[in-house]
Amino acid sequence: MNNITIAIPTYGRIDSLRRRVQELLPQMDGGDRLYIFDNATEGFDPRLIPELQDSRVVLTINHVNVGGNANITKCISCVSSGWLWLLSDDDSVKDGAVKSIKEIVSTRSECCFISFCPDSKGFVREKSLLATGLAEFLQLNDGFQWTLLMSNCVFNLDKIATYLKSSYTSIWMNCPHLAPVINCLQDGGRALYSEKSLVVWRPPNLKKSWSIVPVYNLLQLCSLVSDPADAKSLRKVISKGLPSKFRFTLEVCASQARHGKDWRALPYAATVLWGLSRDKGILNKLMFLCLFASLVFPRFSMMLFEILYFLAKRRRLGDTLQDRPFKLYL
């Protein structure tokens, strides 16, 4: 069987990293390698994890925190050939995961990328699906949004090595691991949706998760696609997995409040809202204009809304809110 490389970008999760290493080493053969890129975790001492002394483990500690996406990109380019599994430090590895990868890659050398199935109750992939080219990969769309979860991704470096530059130029898009795959598929590469699962995925802790605002940078992946029809298909696929326009608008308002009216958020909001609305008809375009107006002129928009409410209900909005039970606001 093929030897594989596993790469883990990590920051500030020493206990999680220890568990991943303990789960992986018993599954790895002598020729397999585990690369760990620590993004300058404060107070991190490799001696805290004795397993890091294993000869199959290669630990790199960044001198400074280069950012999460840049650290992921370093992982993708840690080797120039063979198969690479990109693993998050907070996804539990299933028993037999490494064996599953080796069994599949031994018969799929023509593929540049394999998207494994998420261990999610809301999604089931009944069989493997092979796609040639980006159009077919998007057309199958069998859980494409789960390729954003990097622990489901296995790359054939022999196929995508020449496209790795796009990972660095796409760091700001929040999914640098997909940029070389998209470019390779545009040139006729092949990819596989596998029915097998490698990790146990758990929803993130909302109190510790990032703001959803940067997530919308995923829409800019479409700028990598030269064919307009494929770009439109990719935009639709990504849009399905994004939070609502209304939630995004609230996040931008909250971001402005936190940073003292940082107006740099507004051009970004316009780009995102238009990207979500451009393929969805005149009503969505009108919704885009209304939502963007509410960001630029919040007081005027609220006053206009109160006037419209009064004309429709013959009652002030404040009076209606006062009548609601207090638990409604909790």
Residue 52: inside a domain, yes or no?
A: yes
Domain that holds residue 276: 213-296
Do 191 and 224 reside in the same domain of the chain? no
Do 192 and 218 reside in the same domain of the chain? no
Give me the number of domains the chain comprises.
Answer: 2
Q: What is the pLDDT of residue 330?
A: 39
Strands (E), the chain: 4-10, 33-38, 57-61, 83-86, 92-93, 111-115, 129-132, 153-156, 190-193, 199-200
| Environment class of 76 (CB within 10 Å of its CB; exposed 0-12, middle 13-18, buried 19+) | buried
Q: What is the pLDDT of residue 328?
A: 45
Q: What is the pLDDT of residue 153?
A: 93
Do 179 and 240 reside in the same domain of the chain? no
Do 80 and 11 reside in the same domain of the chain? yes
Residue 58: inside a domain, yes or no?
A: yes
Do 194 and 281 reside in the same domain of the chain? no
Helix axes 245-258, 265-277, angle to 10 degrees: 180
Q: What is the pLDDT of residue 85?
A: 95
Do 13 and 121 reside in the same domain of the chain? yes
Give the domain CATH number at 190. 3.90.550.10
Each of the 330 residues of the chain gets a pLDDT tens digit; together they read 688 999 999 988 888 889 999 999 999 998 999 999 999 888 888 888 888 888 999 998 889 998 888 999 999 988 878 999 999 988 899 999 999 999 999 999 999 999 998 776 667 788 889 999 999 998 886 667 778 888 999 999 999 999 999 999 888 888 889 999 999 999 999 999 998 989 987 666 555 555 566 677 888 888 899 999 998 888 888 877 676 766 667 666 666 665 666 666 777 777 777 777 766 677 777 777 777 777 777 777 778 878 888 888 888 876 776 665 545 443
Q: What is the pLDDT of residue 102?
A: 94
Residue 15: inside a domain, yes or no?
A: yes
Do 256 and 162 reside in the same domain of the chain? no
Do 187 and 249 reside in the same domain of the chain? no
